[in-house]
């Protein structure tokens, strides 16, 4: 059976969506996650990278990218993790199931905020993604 494909979207694709992508790839077997931003910053927040490294979930493949880089992938589910991405979520070439699970943006805050975001995403998002696939 082919892996299910999930796209996680937020605005900057530097914190929440990268963490979510890593967590899905780490904890959900047979699911391949991707992430992108509607206005990507072009870089991964150092604290987002650090929290993933601390939990053994970081991969150098993770990087901040625009939707254009992944639009042609046949996704089974699109997840928005910030209100802005939810409101501006584009149309995909084929109909795709979309859900919104919002998380507070830790960008600009201390490392503890990233640790908290990691836990929130792990607790809330993984269950929702499993339910949808």
Contact 20, 51 (CB under 8 A): no
89 among known catalytic residues: yes
CA 62 vs. chain centroid, Å, equals 10
Pairing verdict, β 4-10 and 97-100? unpaired
Cα 101 to Cα 5, 37, 60, 80, 112, distances in angstroms: 17, 15, 25, 6, 21
Catalytic residue among 6, 10, 44, 79: 10
18, 52, 82, 121: the catalytic one is 82
DSSP state of 66: B
Catalytic annotation, pick one of 67, 70, 89, 133: 89
CA 113 – CA 122 distance, rounded (Å): 14
List the catalytic residues. Answer: 10, 82, 89
């Amino acid at each position: 059976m082919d892996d299910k494909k999930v796209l996680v979207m937020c605005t900057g694709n530097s914190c929440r969506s990268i963490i979510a992508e890593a967590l899905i790839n780490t904890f959900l077997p047979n699911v391949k996650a991707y992430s992108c931003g509607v206005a990507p910053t072009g870089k991964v927040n150092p604290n987002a990278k650090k929290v993933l490294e601390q939990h053994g979930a970081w991969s150098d493949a993770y990087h901040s990218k625009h939707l254009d880089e992944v639009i042609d992938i046949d996704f089974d589910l699109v997840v928005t993790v910030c209100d802005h991405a939810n409101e501006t979520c584009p149309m995909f070439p084929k109909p795709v199931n979309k859900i919104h699970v919002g998380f507070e943006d830790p960008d600009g805050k201390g490392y503890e905020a990233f640790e908290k975001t990691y836990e929130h995403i792990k607790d809330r998002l993984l269950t929702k993604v499993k339910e949808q696939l």
